[in-house]
Amino acid sequence: MANTKKHPDSNVYSELASNAVPLALPKRVLAIGAHPDDIEFGAGGTLARWVSLGCEVTMLVVTDGSKGSWDPGIDPADLVATRINEQRAAAAALGAAEVRYLNEVDGELEYTMDLRKEMCRQIRDVRPDVVLSHDPWQRYQLHPDHRATGWAVMDGVVSARDHLYFPEQDLDPHRPDAVLLWSADTPDHWEDISDHFPAKVEALLCHSSQGTTTMGGAEQTDDRRRAFVDRMQSWAAGQGAAVDLEKAESFKRITP
Ligand SMILES: [Zn+2]
């Protein structure tokens, strides 16, 4: 029963059925996040590792990040421009080939048929072996954009694989080998990021406009930056402990 592990937050033993079949190294992946920095938090180490092995990574950022500040004097238009530059730098730190933006208004994303259709179009266009995104089933997920993105991605995966959905897109159907969902309550797939944790941190720190809101002021002083890196390190080590890896990112794996 080598593949039987006890999930650290659960009293249920799982066979880790999907993890028992290792995920082949993808040639192309599409990572979809609601906001600039979500992809890096959820899967930055995994993407950096896959890039180092020859994978082509496309990042798709759904909203414009225009509400990501606690500064009462900030101009949302300036913030959007800053965050596009930060996202570009973060993508370079991971080695991603491309960043795409849907420019929806931050905090106001709604799950509509148009959004599902757009996810379908992106998947058919990029033709990824693996799609990564937010887990829409995560309990008590507070942020509406994370929930809406996760649902639209999952339903977009279903639409993308069958030709009778949205035929007006004039793109061949596409079925990814796997969908990996970060922030899962019940992860069953782990990726080793032991050697690529520094790239994940470097990418996250590119989002300096988010230092105060999500990184404990990491952009302000060396001490705060070190504290942030320590927190990320503990998190990655905690994820890895479930499967005897030094550092990992965990996911719920779905085979479409
Ligand atoms: Zn977010």
Each residue's pLDDT tens digit, 111-149 = 999 999 999 999 999 999 999 999 999 999 999 999 999
Q: How much distance in Å is there from the Cα of 69 to the middle of ligand 1?
A: 12
Q: How much distance in Å is there from the Cα of 162 to the middle of ligand 1?
A: 29
Query: Which pair of tokens denotes residue 233?
Result: 């390190």
Q: How much distance in Å is there from the Cα of 141 to the middle of ligand 1?
A: 11
Q: How much distance in Å is there from the Cα of 137 to the middle of ligand 1?
A: 15
Cβ neighbour number for residue 81 with a 10 Å cutoff: 12
Q: How much distance in Å is there from the Cα of 244 to the middle of ligand 1?
A: 29
Q: How confident is the model at residue 12 (pLDDT cuts 50, 70, 90)?
A: very low
Please classify residue 228 by burial: count the beta carbons closer than 10 Å to its beta carbon, then call 0-12 exposed, 13-18 middle and 19+ buried. Answer: buried
Distances (CA, A) of 148 to 116, 137, 158, 180, 195: 10, 11, 16, 16, 32
Q: How much distance in Å is there from the Cα of 52 to the middle of ligand 1?
A: 26
Cβ neighbour number for residue 14 with a 10 Å cutoff: 16
Distances (CA, A) of 111 to 48, 115, 119: 30, 6, 11
Residues within 5 A (CB) of ion ligand 1? 34-35, 38
Q: How much distance in Å is there from the Cα of 2 to the middle of ligand 1?
A: 36
Q: How much distance in Å is there from the Cα of 14 to the middle of ligand 1?
A: 29
pLDDT of 13: 35
7 vs 244, residue with greater confidence:
244
CA–CA separation, 253 vs 187, rounded Å?
8
Is residue 201 pLDDT above 90, yes or no? yes
pLDDT of 211: 86
Query: Which pair of tokens denotes residue 117?
Result: 């259709």
Each residue's pLDDT tens digit, 36-59 = 999 999 999 999 999 999 999 999
What are the DSSP E strand ranges found in the chain? 5-6, 13-14, 28-33, 56-63, 98-104, 130-134, 178-182, 189-192, 248-254
Contact yes or no for 94/142 (Cβ under 8 A): no
